[in-house]
Structure 1
Amino acid sequence: MKGLIHSFESFGTKDGPGIRFVLFMQGCPLRCLYCHNVDTWNIKDYKKELTPEETFKEVFKIKNFIKTGGITISGGEPLTQPDFIKEVFRLCKENGIHTALDTSGYIFTNRAKEVLEYVDLVLLDIKHINPEKYKVLTSVNLAPTLKFAEYLQEINKPVWLRYVLVPGYSDDEKDLHEWAKYCSKFTNVERVDILPFHQMGTPKWEMMKRTYVLKDNKTPTKEEIIKAEDIFASYGLPVKLTNR
């Protein structure tokens, strides 16, 4: 068994607690308008092909640096390759390395459930709460992600929720209240991050010769970010606040 991999980062600091080895898997069923890893969409565009054991060797090389962190498997959508990532996570758990899965929650299958047995923390993107607007943003249905979120609550799996704030798409005040109200019922959420939309992915869209709908979209202002954070916090969510 081999995993089709886009890349990996040895000293990640934004994908879970501590310093982390971040593995970016190739392939994704979503087509998010703001994706900054558009070059991970097509499974055929993979850069590396490694076995779980070969992958673990790369992680183990920096084991001393990631003692307070661990490994995060991201993408793309890592659950497009569940058997591979399950084995990587299993090897890491056997060696005392903290494991995190960065996912859209869209692929909610029995094989995905098996992966979760070896996961310490899930970084879950619930990209919108309105099903129609979610589909505009991602091109897929919202329902599987909500089922995924509810399953994580059922098994009491620690979760960090992530929400990308995109002016004109995911910043409507009513939607923010609805998102926060829905997510506030979960008792397994340890942290909520609001991620401001940015244009850093633009060169990749150009490189992949894809139409970038958001090329003229603005980044949210500090005031807009604070407003969203305050709405989420008002529902008791553990929001990681920006510097104020």
Structure 2
Amino acid sequence: MPSLKIASWNINSVRARPDLVSRFLEEADPDILCLQETKAHNDVFPRKFFEERGYPHIALNGQKMHHGVGTISKVPLEEDLRHDWQDNGEARHIGVRVAGKFRLENVYVPAGGDVPDRDVNPKFGQKLDFLGRMTEWGQKLAEPTLLVGDFNIAPLECDVWSHKQLLNVVSHTPIEVETLQRFKDSHDWVDLGRKFIPAPERCFTWWSYRSPDYTKNDRGRRLDHMWCSPTLEDKVTGHEVHEPVRGWEKPSDHVPLVCEVQL
């Protein structure tokens, strides 16, 4: 049965890491690559770079200097849409239909600043409101959908290196976890990461740049996710975290996820 290999990766500037991207495309050979934090306006996105590597179909929602998402594909993409879940014009979503079979939604949830209190940190409130708007969207969603991206939330206790020490750290606070759970419930999303790597097995996708050697203390978090509609679950045949990429030269602080979907 034909299938598509789909990757998702917060690249932390696509133009700053061409060698990293090229190596990943060569080694993993995904059919579709969903990028977050591209940090490139559509006019300066490196289209030719991807076209030369066999990815001529490109859907972009870029922004100068910050944010930005892009879906790059070997196969045609249909009906690209952009939701402003941030409600301020930030480029954080691009959605397409793939092969006439399912929708592929690529999202970059705001980090939320450093203080987990919306009264003193507006960025934290924006993050919660972003997820609230996603929840309203999820409640109305009817098509089979694969949702991928940087959610900037590690929902389970085993999704961080220390649940106790990170309870008050943005990305693992109870209110973020509860807000993400409401979104999950809005469409009965299937968390593919934890379907294929069941809790409490270790599964991290992000390590801070503050540690010179990310493997030494392994203070990781599972911030990047792939979720699917219940109607698509049986079509997803695999899910991998490409952790070694974090150790490549000049890496992003996130690593790619890859899943395979039968058509």
TM-score normalised by the shorter chain: which range applies? 0.3 to 0.5
More helix by share: 1
TM-score, reference length from structure 1: 0.41
> Which structure has the highest strand share of the two?
2
Structure number with greater CO (CA < 8 Å, separation at least 6) is 2
Q: TM-score, normalised by structure 2?
A: 0.39
